[in-house]
Amino acid sequence: MDTTHQLSVDEDAGTRLDVLVARRLDISRTMAATLIATGRVFVNAGAQKASYRTEAGDAITATVTTTTERPVVGEDIPLHIIFEDDELLVVDKQAGMVVHPAPGNWTGTLVNALMGRGQGLAEGGGEERAGLVHRLDKDTSGLLVVAKTDRSHRILSKAISERRVSRRYAVMCWGHLDGDTLTVDRPIGRDPNDRTKMAIALAGRDARTDFVRLARFQSCDFLRAHLHSGRTHQIRVHLTSVGHPVVGDDTYGGGGARRLVELPAKRHFLHAAWLVFKHPVTGEAMDFRSPLPADLRTSLGAISEMPEIIAHPDPLEYLGFYRVDG
């Protein structure tokens, strides 16, 4: 099945064509270059090389072939929706739910649940990713914005690419950072030794994460992570690259001592707790917050050994998660 994407050029004028296509479609630069070389990308209805420097006002058409082994069907799966209007909705996703259908997970996903509600979703991302503007890993809980119209999908996707959507995560890592703040600015790509994993890769896509330590416990640091890009497994890979993997992360070396920190199987301590953006149509400031789910709250109590944290109505507020200067 072919999906055609219409891409406009404005603030990102001057960017190489392959870089812009990769960024906008959330694909690798190599894949973008292949699309261009095989005549699947046109600029102002004409062919261009991958090295073409885009200009303001350029109209880019990119056609991507996707393979769907079976149609995506709606399912009656409960969702925790904390906001909804005619243009978008915000979901507080539970850990263990895959976001979109793919081989091995054709049912039970967030997209299946959204389609099961019988309401329209943006089609820009294709059937398997209907409405999705960004994603969360299967075992990461927290906030996701979903577009119900193609207009909102286009505007929100652009806002994310231009870093105008603030996404902050609550994360527990093993060990202790050297200071209270840390910025990891390292490109991420597929691990050449294991294609199911991501890794720091010179040929990967730019990725930056800012970390702030909010509490230091005996064996762990509790951090607020601020994404400036949205690469697959970004926070997990960045923390592993500095020797402090996410607690409970079996994939990237943080899965040991699970019982000591009272985490259930296949769960890591990573939660998309705070999402801030402007409404794509009204321009209204939107600010959504998700408290720690019960399993991470229990783990925080075991790690901190501080009953007063868990006794607070919102441990994140107690730890200063929402206090951001500037």
Give the tokens for residue 141: 């809980």
Phi and psi at residue 18, in whole multiples of 5°? -65, -35
Q: Does residue 150 carry a catalytic annotation?
A: no
**Segments in 127-227 forming alpha helices (H):** 150-161
Query: Average of pLDDT values for 7-13?
Result: 82
Rg of the chain in Å (alpha carbons): 20
Q: Which of 26, 137, 139, 295 is catalytic?
A: 137
Taking the whole predicted model, whether its pTM rises above 0.85 is answered as no
Q: What's the full length of the chain, in residues?
A: 326
Q: Is the per-residue pLDDT at 45 higher than 80? A: yes
- Do 288 and 297 form a contact (C-beta atoms < 8 A)? no
CATH architecture label of 81-161: 2-Layer Sandwich (3.30)
Assess whether the region 2-65 and the region 81-161 belong to the same CATH fold: no
Average pLDDT over the chain, rounded to an integer: 91
Three-state secondary structure string covering 214-241: EEECCCEEEEEEEECCCCCCHHHHHHHH
Q: What is the separation, in whole angstroms, between the first and last Cα of the chain?
A: 46
- Do 269 and 247 form a contact (C-beta atoms < 8 A)? yes
Determine the Cα angle at 111 with ends 118 and 33, to 5°: 130
Q: Which residues contact 260 (CB under 8 A, 6 or more apart)?
A: 302
- Do 50 and 16 form a contact (C-beta atoms < 8 A)? yes
The residues spanned by each domain of the chain are 2-65, 81-161, 166-318
- High-pLDDT (> 90) share of the chain, %: 69
Q: Is the per-residue pLDDT at 146 higher than 70? A: yes
**What pLDDT score does 12 carry?**
76
Domain 166-318: CATH superfamily, name plus number:
Pseudouridine synthase (3.30.2350.10)
pLDDT digits (tens, 9 = 90+) for 111-136: 999 999 988 898 866 666 788 999 99
pLDDT digits (tens, 9 = 90+) for 213-259: 999 999 999 999 999 988 999 999 999 999 999 999 999 999 989 99
Closest CA to 223 of 134, 152, 300: 300
- For residue 66, the one-letter residue type is T
Domain 2-65: CATH superfamily, name plus number:
RNA-binding S4 domain (3.10.290.10)
**What pLDDT score does 48 carry?**
92
**What pLDDT score does 1 carry?**
65
CB atoms within 10 A of CB 305: 9
Q: Is the per-residue pLDDT at 186 higher than 60? A: yes
Give the tokens for residue 154: 């286009």
Q: Is the per-residue pLDDT at 199 higher than 80? A: yes
